[in-house]
Structure 1
Amino acid sequence: MAAVDTGPVSDFEQVAAPLRGELLAHSYRMLGSWHEAEDAVQETYLRGWRAWDGFEERSSVRTWLHRIATNVCLNAARDRGRRALPSGIGAPTDDVDGQPDVLPPQTWIEPFAGDRADLRLALVAAMQTLPPAQRAVLLLRDVLAFPAAEVAEMMDMSVAAVKSSLQRARARLTEVDFGPDDVVEPSSPQARRLLDAYVTAFETANVDALMAVLRVDVRLELLPNRRWFAGVAGCSRVFAMAVGRPGDWRMDRVIVNGQPGVTAHLHGQPFGIAVLDARQDGIASVTVFGDPALVRRFTAGASRV
């Protein structure tokens, strides 16, 4: 990602404002939470504003603010456990009639209104398995493309330590299948076809049409429920109970975490959002966030498919 040309450093708000989106996405990747990321960016700007008079331009404003933001996120990450998706904390179940196992909101990774591939849910979930310092080094080097020497200064580490930490982080991520080759972009014809089929199936209560676009190894996660389902047989039973009658659901297409998704209304009331993992041969996973507040948030801030 190219550095932002801020020109002569004179006014903090003028030079810092264009970096907010980048800082927010970085904080989200670090923390796995949209609202925690916004808090981190607010704290970053507050610290930056307070320290502005002492900024000596020994680095770019972009580097300086990312250093502040990274430290804010590291402090936040140390104060709580890691966030995850249900598939990251337990085995799937085939008991569709079992009691829900609902965990508190701070347990889960939250969705994010962004269209970049490096915001995909699987990648953000994989990031959360790394120790916070390794996570920061990986993001600063591989996502934001800061040179190793700058990352060393930002993290108060030696260049050798940065390289070692990056190597360990990359090795850990190779163990996690977060970036398969057959993922399709949300704007591609295939992704649009799969998303249209998903929406139409729910709005017309056509379970067979939905089954036709699911992969055999499809995964279904229903946050805030810890229980999740793997395989078309188990998932189809859950979907069959969920679709209801024609007209029960209304869905609007959005882009979530660089993936096709929907905001969903049930019986006219906000329900939550669903994120699809669209592949060349069908839908590989559906992650449902059953939080009505997300409908309002994504209606205001998400990109449309």
Structure 2
Amino acid sequence: MGEAFSPTAADGDLARARDGDEAAFTRLVRPLRPELHAHCYRMLGSVHDADDALQDALLRAWRGLARFEGRSSLRTWLYAVTTHACLDLAESRGRRMLPMDLGPSSERAVVDGQGPLGDVAWLGPYPDAGPTDGPAGRYERREAVELAFVAALQHLPGNQRAALLLFEVLGFSAAEIAAMMKTSSASVNSALARARRILAEKAPSLDRQRAPRTIGDPRVREIAVGFASALERGDADALIALLTDDVTWSMPPLPHWYRGIAAVADFAVQVPLTRCPSWRYVLTGANGQPAVAFYVGEGAALPHAAWSITVLTLRDERICEIASFLGAEHFAGFGLPAVLPAVRTTGDGGR
């Protein structure tokens, strides 16, 4: 994978940074921050943990820059520093989970059951790449942060997770990874083999085809709008018509989740379509997939508060997985407000 910055400019900033020029160091690492942050998210399954890990990694890099001898590229060295920062954080905070990791699905809607579980480290959504990324960068990030892929990664021990990501996603060789991880190429290859077996068990149907899935694709946008507007209108039939027979719906931090059209339909009718007075929405993108930011209010013309970032997984132009990440804390990372103001007319859904 090519360097993300001009070698000549980078060499000059590297020399200045080694002399203690913090502004030069900032310029040096700025082009690499988005991909390093995405790597942290894949390793840790949380935007907030990714923020912490990257901040720690860049501090380590700044303090240890004098030890960078140039035997590898600066990018490779920064990935090594960042990966170790992620491994340290993962060890202290544990792996991120989805409701599916806690127990079997519920056959009927749980209306007055157990509330949010605050003692579980939940997987979180990841905002899509911004408009400044080129087409190749958007595709690469989309494939590498898909929700099912990141969820499956959380089942791997840290060293296997790191080896798999560095090799399969980032294209480093086994020898380069061995140098990064301070181990042997044989150990890296063994970790890769074990990681691939576990990943195949945890996500046997993981779709890696290059099919259109982003909110910018017209058909995908049409499906996302159909789902969101059906919820907004309270149209159960229209919503259910968009789902596959084996659809799942989960809502971390709630432990309950649903599998199959009957269970999901029962939940949809009993809870969001009945117990929530008014919905508005904003289309967005998360984990390289279509997503909807939902807001709930007491009436159509009243203010609506942030409720969930709902990530949709599609198969054959239907929705096969719905993951609603509840909580206003997710919205800032998507550049979305915590409240949609009151409106005089209805029906625009905040679009």
- Shorter chain as denominator, the TM-score bin is over 0.9
Match of 1:194 among 223, 231, 255: 223
Match of 1:177 in 2: 204
Match of 2:240 in 1: 211
| Structure 2 residue 253 is matched with structure 1 residue 253 | no
Q: Secondary structure at the match of 2:335?
A: helix
Match of 2:97 in 1: 84
Do the aligned partners of 2:249 and 2:322 also contact (CA within 8 Å) in 1? yes
Change (3 A) 1:106 1:70: farther
Cα displacement (A) at 1:181 = 6.0
TM-score by length of 2: 0.81
Do the aligned partners of 1:113 and 1:257 also contact (CA within 8 Å) in 2? yes
Match of 1:102 in 2: 116
Do the aligned partners of 1:243 and 1:249 also contact (CA within 8 Å) in 2? no
Change (3 A) 1:41 1:100: same
Match of 1:75 among 88, 95, 105: 88
Return the letter of the residue paired with 2:234.
A
**2:192 & 2:319 partners in 1: Cα distance?**
32
Match of 2:125 among 99, 111, 124: 111
Cα displacement (A) at 1:178 = 5.3
Cα displacement (A) at 1:247 = 7.7
Query: Which ranges of structure 2 fall in alignment gaps of 5 or more residues?
Result: 16-23, 130-141, 298-303, 338-350
Match of 2:253 among 201, 205, 224: 224
Residues 233-263 of structure 1: per-residue CA shift (max 9 Å, x gap): 1111111131249981111000101110011
Match of 1:14 in 2: 27
Q: Secondary structure at the match of 1:242?
A: coil
Match of 1:127 in 2: 153
Return the letter of the residue paired with 1:63.
T
Do the aligned partners of 1:47 and 1:68 also contact (CA within 8 Å) in 2? yes
Identity fraction in percent? 37
**1:226 & 1:6 partners in 2: Cα distance?**
48
| Structure 2 residue 325 is matched with structure 1 residue 294 | no
Q: What CA RMSD, in Å, does the superposition of the two structures yield over aligned residues?
A: 2.1
Return the letter of the residue paired with 1:179.
L
Count of aligned residue pairs for this structure pair: 302
Return the letter of the residue paired with 2:107.
D
Query: Which ranges of structure 1 fall in alignment gaps of 5 or more residues?
Result: none
Do the aligned partners of 2:281 and 2:292 also contact (CA within 8 Å) in 1? yes
Residues 84-104 of structure 1: per-residue CA shift (max 9 Å, x gap): 111123110113135025222
TM-score by length of 1: 0.93
Q: Which has the larger radius of gyration?
A: 2
Matching of residues 21-36 of structure 1 within 5 Å: 21-36=34-49
Cα displacement (A) at 1:80 = 2.8
Change (3 A) 1:3 1:167: farther
Structure having greater relative contact order (Cα 8 Å, sep ≥ 6): 1
